[in-house]
Amino acid sequence: MFDVLTLAGLTGRDQELPPDVRVKHGVNRDGRTIHYYLNYSSNPQSFAYPYLAGSDLLSQAPIAPSQRVTLKPWDLVIIEEK
């Protein structure tokens, strides 16, 4: 049975995140896309990064498409696409 959101064409990569992870997107002054992932729980959360390669702006670590990202409890990661 199809979900109503799927039938309406309103699902995508962000709906595949764990329930306690929220994501916001933006564009910086250089025109690069930024993804903000926030863990709203007291448990670690893990997900496969679904967008283009980039880097974690807080740690400067490279992030590849489909790479597993783990957020500590109440943590966040900010990824800038290359």
**DSSP per-residue codes, 32-46:** -EEEEEEE-SSS-EE
Domains and CATH numbers, the chain: 4-81 (2.60.40.1180)
For residue 5, the SS3 value is helix
pLDDT per position in the chain (82 positions), as tens?
457 767 777 778 898 899 999 999 999 999 999 999 999 999 999 999 999 999 999 999 999 999 999 999 999 999 999 9
Handedness of CA 66, 62, 37, 29 (dihedral sign): negative
Specify whether the CB–CB gap between 51 and 37 falls below 8 A. no
